[in-house]
């Protein structure tokens, strides 16, 4: 399957945009490099700053419309009201774990794709300072000083990002690795913050089992606390600004790891249910990975033009349908 970048990069669009540069020095060639170097990209384009979405609008708009179903006339909305979520506590052995993350980037800085080393280090310091104000007990671990053993263990347990992702590398996101990167987590690793990966912050709530309500409530609590200390890049039209257009809007991915051995034998039925509920299927180790032992990562696909509550509700309703289909297979 070709990436959305390839689909919409016509000669006309390329000709129109190829000599433009944002104020922070980001060009179309930089934006599309990941998709060109990785033909298996699903999207293949990254922004370098908030201005990229305006300057290269002819490229980004059709991609945003196809991925989120969000047009230029649509308005983004937000609701983090946990009480509005319906039937979001599963007690089902098929659901192994739940994770909800949002991406955030700091206002007045370029995005990670186009940031300098000193800006990245400054952002890390600002985030580490803000994390100290959280009401939970936790610690920040810089990637530079982390032992190889600890790093591998955190990745294996699904807490930490991988190293050397080729999609991120080609987007300029792995420059100066591992400097400026790290992870914060509370004592029981149910609240985590990734620093300077694809986005400057990935704010994560996760735990074993299917209590999606509890995971969402924890995310909202600490997100509100961080917002007291940090100003995030936000546009009225596009919501929270992210380096990948799939993460605009809420920048939220709410997922469960769920075991579905029956549906795994009928992928077209599986995919049909996911499509109906706007869900995405990922493998056991996240994006671009494969499922193992019929365990899938199921998450909301749309993130822009829908509120945070709707993102989680998409996942909740879709997972309920998948579990029913699995049981009556």
In contact, 31 and 52? CB cutoff 8 Å:
yes
Contacts of 174 (CB under 8 A, 6+ apart): 164, 165, 168
- Residue 32 interacts, among ligand ADP, ligand IOM, none and using kind-specific CB cut-offs from 5 to 8 Å, with none
- Residue 278 interacts, among ligand IOM, ligand ADP, none and using kind-specific CB cut-offs from 5 to 8 Å, with none
Name the one range near ligand IOM by CB under 6 A: 42-50, 117-125, 174-182, 273-281: 42-50
Our answer to whether residue 120 is catalytic in this structure is no
Residue carrying structure tokens 């591998």? 152
The residue among 190 and 250 lying less far from ligand IOM, judged by its C-beta, is: 250
- Residue 246 interacts, among ligand IOM, ligand ADP, none and using kind-specific CB cut-offs from 5 to 8 Å, with ligand IOM
111 sits near ligand IOM (criterion: CB under 6 A): no
CB atoms within 10 A of CB 7: 13
> What's the min distance (Å) between Cβ of 155 and ligand ADP?
7
Distance (Å) of CA 134 to CA 4, 127, 231, 303, 309: 39, 11, 16, 26, 23
Taking the C-alpha atoms of residue 221 and residue 112, their distance in angstroms, rounded to an integer, is 26
The residue among 59 and 130 lying less far from ligand IOM, judged by its C-beta, is: 59
Our answer to whether residue 151 is catalytic in this structure is no
Task: Give the residue nearest to ligand ADP (CB).
Answer: 286
27 sits near ligand IOM (criterion: CB under 6 A): no
187, with CB counted inside 10 A (0-12, 13-18, 19+), is exposed
Catalytic residue (choose from 244, 274, 302, 303)? 244
43 sits near ligand IOM (criterion: CB under 6 A): yes
> What's the min distance (Å) between Cβ of 163 and ligand IOM?
15
- Residue 44 interacts, among ligand IOM, ligand ADP, none and using kind-specific CB cut-offs from 5 to 8 Å, with ligand IOM
> What's the min distance (Å) between Cβ of 111 and ligand ADP?
15
x-or-dash pattern for ligand IOM, window 233-252, by CB under 6 A? -----------x-x------
Contacts of 64 (CB under 8 A, 6+ apart): 70, 238, 245, 248, 304
In contact, 318 and 278? CB cutoff 8 Å:
yes
Q: Among 59, 39, 203, 52, which Cα is nearest to 113's?
A: 52
Taking the C-alpha atoms of residue 300 and residue 182, their distance in angstroms, rounded to an integer, is 26
Our answer to whether residue 282 is catalytic in this structure is yes
Our answer to whether residue 308 is catalytic in this structure is no
* Backbone phi and psi for residue 275, each to the nearest 5 degrees, phi listed first: -65, -45
In contact, 282 and 289? CB cutoff 8 Å:
yes
Taking the C-alpha atoms of residue 125 and residue 138, their distance in angstroms, rounded to an integer, is 16
167 sits near ligand IOM (criterion: CB under 6 A): yes
Instruction: List the interface residues with ligand IOM, window 261-290 (CB under 6 A).
Output: 287
Our answer to whether residue 253 is catalytic in this structure is yes
Our answer to whether residue 320 is catalytic in this structure is no
131 sits near ligand IOM (criterion: CB under 6 A): no
> What's the min distance (Å) between Cβ of 298 and ligand ADP?
8
Helix, strand, coil percentages, rounded to 5, for the chain: 40, 20, 40
Binding site for ligand ADP (CB under 6 A): 97-99, 101, 158, 202, 206, 253, 255-257, 282, 284-287, 297
> What's the min distance (Å) between Cβ of 200 and ligand ADP?
13
Taking the C-alpha atoms of residue 183 and residue 98, their distance in angstroms, rounded to an integer, is 19
Our answer to whether residue 244 is catalytic in this structure is yes
Active site residues: 101, 198, 202, 244, 246, 253, 282, 287
Interface with ligand IOM (CB under 6 A): 41-44, 167, 198, 244, 246, 287
């Amino acid at each position: 399957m070709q990436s959305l970048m390839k689909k919409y990069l016509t000669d006309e669009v390329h000709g129109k945009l190829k000599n433009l540069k944002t104020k922070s020095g980001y060009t179309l060639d930089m934006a599309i490099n990941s998709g060109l170097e990785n033909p298996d990209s699903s999207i293949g384009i990254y922004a370098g700053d908030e201005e990229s979405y305006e300057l290269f609008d002819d490229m980004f708009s059709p991609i945003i419309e196809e991925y989120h179903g969000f047009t230029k006339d649509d308005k983004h909305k937000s609701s983090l009201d946990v009480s509005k979520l319906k039937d979001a506590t599963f007690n089902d052995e098929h659901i192994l774990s739940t994770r909800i993350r949002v991406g955030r980037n700091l206002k007045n800085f370029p995005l990670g794709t186009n940031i300098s080393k000193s800006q990245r280090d400054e952002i890390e310091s600002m985030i580490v300072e803000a994390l100290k104000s959280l009401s939970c007990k936790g610690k920040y671990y810089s990637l530079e000083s982390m032992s190889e053993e600890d790093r591998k263990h955190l990745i294996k347990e699904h807490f930490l990002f991988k190293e050397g992702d080729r999609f991120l590398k080609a987007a300029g996101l792995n420059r100066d690795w591992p400097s400026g990167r790290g992870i914060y987590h509370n004592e029981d690793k149910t609240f985590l913050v990734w620093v300077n990966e694809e986005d400057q912050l990935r704010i994560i709530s996760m735990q074993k089992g299917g209590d999606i309500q509890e995971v969402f409530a924890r995310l909202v609590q600490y997100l509100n606390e961080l917002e007291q200390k940090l100003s995030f890049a936000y546009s009225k039209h596009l919501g929270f600004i992210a380096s990948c257009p799939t993460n605009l809007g809420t920048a939220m991915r709410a997922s469960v790891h769920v075991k579905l051995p029956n549906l795994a034998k009928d992928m077209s039925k599986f995919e049909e249910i996911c499509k109906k509920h706007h869900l995405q299927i990922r493998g056991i180790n996240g994006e671009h990975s494969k499922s193992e032992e019929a365990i899938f990562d199921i998450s909301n696909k749309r993130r822009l033009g829908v509120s945070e509550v709707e993102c989680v509700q998409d996942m909740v309703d879709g997972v309920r349908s998948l579990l029913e289909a699995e049981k009556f297979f």
